[in-house]
Amino acid sequence: MLDDERLGRFKLVVMPHLDAAYNLARWLTRNEQDADDVVQEATLRALRGLDGLRGDDARCWLLTIVRNTCFTWLRRNRPGETLPGPQDDSPGVPIDTLEPGAILEQAARARGVREAIDALPVHYREVVILREMEGMSYKEIAQVTGLPPGTVMSRLARARERLHESLAPLAAEES
């Protein structure tokens, strides 16, 4: 049974990071429903393990739980399987400010970037998501992944290199 103080602490320090948790899970599982399941399981684990949270960095703590839950889920449910990425084709600027052709071009670029990220091996994909989409520092990523900061930096560099190679043809089409 949860007491009100513990539940209040959970709502205050963990719940604000659920969007980041879902984003990470969605990119790692490459499926919205699976990400929902992973985040639900990770949230329950976080609630049960709330006493293990030390300090103020609930975001890193929660994302570590999400990452571990996700990899456990992937090993159990999809060993070695590659799936398409999230199906969010919304452009990054308000649609009413662009011409129809520009909207289509922007959607195609966004789809190309998503596909390039999606094609990365999971150990590269996770550092890209944590750094570029979640804005985490190398130190925070190292905490979440349990890797040395140097390994985080080298994985991120290799991931960026692969993304550059994958996206070069798309960039060439636009020039």
Q: What is the CATH number of the domain that holds 114?
A: 1.10.10.10
Query: 79: helix, coil or strand?
Result: coil
- What CA–CA distance (Å, rounded) separates 71 from 39? 12
Residues listed for the chain: 175
Q: Kindly report, residue by residue over 14-35, the tens digit of the pLDDT.
A: 899 999 999 999 988 888 999 9
pLDDT of residue 92: 39
Q: Are residues 163 and 106 in the same domain?
A: yes
Q: Is residue 163 part of a domain?
A: yes
What φ, ψ does residue 128 adopt, rounded to 5°?
Answer: -65, -45
Q: Is residue 117 part of a domain?
A: yes
Q: Is residue 118 part of a domain?
A: yes
Across the range 107-121, mean pLDDT stands at 81
Q: How many CB atoms lie within 10 A of CB 57?
A: 15
Q: Are residues 105 and 166 in the same domain?
A: yes
- What CA–CA distance (Å, rounded) separates 15 from 13? 6
Q: Are residues 99 and 53 in the same domain?
A: no
Let me know: does 107 contact 93? Beta carbons within 8 Å.
Answer: no
Let me know: does 28 contact 126? Beta carbons within 8 Å.
Answer: yes
- Determine the structural domain holding residue 68 and report its residue range: 1-79
Q: Kindly report, residue by residue over 129-171, the tens digit of the pLDDT.
A: 999 888 899 999 999 999 999 999 999 999 999 999 988 886 6
Let me know: does 157 contact 132? Beta carbons within 8 Å.
Answer: no
- What CA–CA distance (Å, rounded) separates 20 from 72? 19
Report the range out of 3-7, 76-80, 107-111 with the highest average pLDDT.
Answer: 3-7
Residue type, 107: A
pLDDT band, residue 107 (cuts 50/70/90): low
Domain count, the chain: 2
Share of the chain above pLDDT 90, in %: 43
